[in-house]
Amino acid sequence: AQKITQTQPGMFVQEKEAVTLDCTYDTSDPSYGLFWYKQPSSGEMIFLIYQGSYDQQNATEGRYSLNFQKARKSANLVISASQLGDSAMYFCAFFRAAGNKLTFGGGTRVLVKP
Amino acid sequence: EAGVAQSPRYKIIEKRQSVAFWCNPISGHATLYWYQQILGQGPKLLIQFQNNGVVDDSQLPKDRFSAERLKGVDSTLKIQPAKLEDSAVYLCASSSLPRVGSGANVLTFGAGSRLTVL
């Protein structure tokens, strides 16, 4: 079974600064994807960014970028210019193409300080 | 487009009672997922449907949990009898089938149903 690990349980970041959230995974599948979701205190899961295993370039979506290092099996999320509204739980998730299955890591709580 | 609808949002029951959660996915989404999220943890997949067939229910505690997706649209997740450790948020998500040669399709989540078992 795929294993996905987020080693940082919680982080503080100063407003307007960048923050990197770590995510590593373990798989032997050649075709897969990595998702990042944000979960604010209200509880909904909000899709942020996706990286496919065959994508040649790192994914970017506005202030979110994904530092994908395939050989190291890591897919770190970078949030630039942090805002107070970025305070939330962030989950990395591994998508297994065979079976359409999404497995989540344990999450990292981010608190943005003014 | 309308999002994934779930109800009820909150439910409090005593142990050994039963409870049911309902999910209406995004129209046209063939795949439906139920996740259990215990406080402080990441969501754990309970069951995955494609249309009205079960794709994966390997982590569903089948002695007390059941789920169905009639006609490949709405889905119901039932717990009977509930235990204290079932206290969690139950998240429903849906996605369309991946296009051939494309990457994964994004799972869209509902707001969740928070269950407290006393």
Nearest Cα residue to B2 out of B33, B31, B23: B23
Q: How far apart are CA A51 and CA A57, in angstroms?
A: 9
Per residue in B41-68, pLDDT (tens digit) is 999 999 999 988 999 999 999 999 999 9
Q: How far apart are CA A68 and CA B47, in angstroms?
A: 29
Q: How far apart are CA B31 and CA A58, in angstroms?
A: 27
Residue of A44, A100, A108 for testing the chain B interface, max B β-carbons within 10 Å: A100
Q: How far apart are CA A5 and CA A74, in angstroms?
A: 9
A106 touches B: beta carbon within 8 Å: yes
Q: Which residues of A touch B111 (CB under 8 A)?
A: 42-44
Nearest Cα residue to A43 out of B43, B2, B97, B27: B43
Q: Which residues of B touch A45 (CB under 8 A)?
A: 43, 91, 93, 109
Per residue in A7-30, pLDDT (tens digit) is 999 999 999 999 999 999 999 988
- Which among B48, B91, B95 is the nearest to A45, CB-wise? B91
Lowest-pLDDT range of A22-26, A62-66, A98-102, B57-61: A98-102
